[in-house]
Structure 1
Amino acid sequence: MSEATKKKHHHGNLKEALVHAGIELLEESGIDGLTLRKCAARAGVSHAAPAHHFDGLLGLKIAIAQEGFLIFSRYLEDGLEGIDNPKERLRSICRGYLAFGLEHPGLLNVIFGTGLAALVPDNREGGYAYNILRGVCAPFIPEGQDPQVVEIQVWSLIHGFTMLYLAGEFGCPPPPIQDGPFDQVVTLLDRVGNLSS
């Protein structure tokens, strides 16, 4: 490790470096391949260093989940800029969700498949991601209906599709996001709330 890197760590960036090292390990080896020792080695610090920043491996995983929600939110937002049509905005966040799952399957598993999201203190990042979905769904909430009915329908549709896509149910390698099964499935969004009106 260079002197510049060491100085960076000493100036308070070690925690961030360990989280990013943990994300790399997670994406390479899955949740079972993530250990404090491997994370420290990847970050180029002593194996005892993570103990100063995290309350054991669980603390590191919670920090990774927190960062995962930030990355996830960026994927949801990326395609929204410049799109005014409500249906296209909805399809765009679905594409962003799928793209996140394809590019970060380990993070997807951490934030939605391990129960760690519930352990993130004051999970503003997870709330922010959900608020993106909520805002895009808002135009399709029938008057008098609980907004969560539509929000959960949309979330369930794209999450379920993403998990099947990652499992190889649509072929290996899977077809491009814009083609085939994705386009067919997102047409189901027209049946959610009042999208067909």
Structure 2
Amino acid sequence: MPTKKPHHHGNLRAALIQAGLDLIQSEGPDALSIRKVAAMAGVSHAAPAHHFPSLAHLRTAVVAEGYRRFTASMEAAIAEADGTPRDVVLAACLGYLRFAWAYSGVFSLMFGPNVHGHDDPDLRDASDAAYGVLVRICAPFAKDDAVQTELTVWSLVHGYASLAVAGNRRLEPGEAAEEVFRGMFAKLDLGAAEA
């Protein structure tokens, strides 16, 4: 007689999302499946259906949680920044890079091509909160064209992070890679911050 899987007590939705994050980190974004996530969470393969009727729904929830952690990583780095508005921008960028390195699979999924529902309100709110950090840190430098300043900073840090996540050996996580980024950032002309 087969043994029954234990009944899951607590927040099954959160447990399934965490299992999805863990699975992506250990096996990559393509490994995400409802069956594997259910097994990791210790529930039957049918149990997730109440929260996630399809893989697309699970993927969207995992990406939304990724954005929340991404935002938290930037905010934590900002909280440690000293002084000037430029220091704050650099700190946020370092938080961005640290998230990309720590959660490379989730980062790839978050910014991958159309693998999740951008019309989902939870995902939209989480994504908007992350972009809101960029808007806030760039505001002191955005005199005439805020979007231009935001896109300049975003392009620099995201390009660097994407190269690192893709496996460029020169950009492996750590102090050396952060120093390379600091050198690049030092050459970035944001103009003078508004008083």
Which SS does the other structure have where 1:26 is aligned? helix
- Hey, what does 2:26 align to over in structure 1? 28
Report whether the alignment pairs 1:66 with 2:68: no
What is the deviation of 1:170?
4.7
Where structure 1 has 5 or more consecutive residues not aligned to the other structure, the ranges are none
Query: Is the contact made by 1:66 and 1:120 (CA closer than 8 Å) also made in structure 2?
Result: no
SS at match of 1:118: coil
1:125 alignment counterpart: 126
Instruction: Quote the residue 1:141 is aligned against.
Output: 142
Distance across 2 between alignment mates of 1:76 and 1:180: 17
Provide the rounded CA distance (Å) in 1 between the counterparts of 2:109 and 2:193: 34
Task: Answer yes or no: is 1:7 the counterpart of 2:9.
Answer: yes
Pair 1:100 & 2:99 matched: yes
What amino acid does structure 2 have at the position aligned with 1:98?
A: L
Q: Structure 2: which amino acid aligns with 1:132? A: V
CA shift for structure 1 position 110: 1.7
Q: Give yes or no for contact 1:137–1:150 (8 Å, CA) kept in 2.
A: yes
Which stretches in structure 2 are left out of the alignment for 5+ residues? none
Change (3 A) 1:177 1:101: farther
Instruction: Kindly indicate whether residue 157 of structure 2 is the aligned counterpart of residue 165 of structure 1.
Output: no
C-alpha distance in structure 1 between counterparts of 2:46 and 2:89, whole Å: 45
Superposed displacement of residue 80, structure 1: 1.4
Which stretches of structure 1, 4 residues or longer, exceed 3 Å deviation after superposition?
Answer: 172-175, 177-180
Deviation at 1:53, TM superposition (A): 0.7
Greater mean alpha carbon deviation, residues 56-65 or residues 46-55: 46-55
TM-score with structure 2 setting the length: 0.86
Per the normalisation by structure 1, the TM-score is 0.86
Q: Quick one: percent identity of the two aligned structures?
A: 35
- Count of aligned pairs between the two proteins: 188
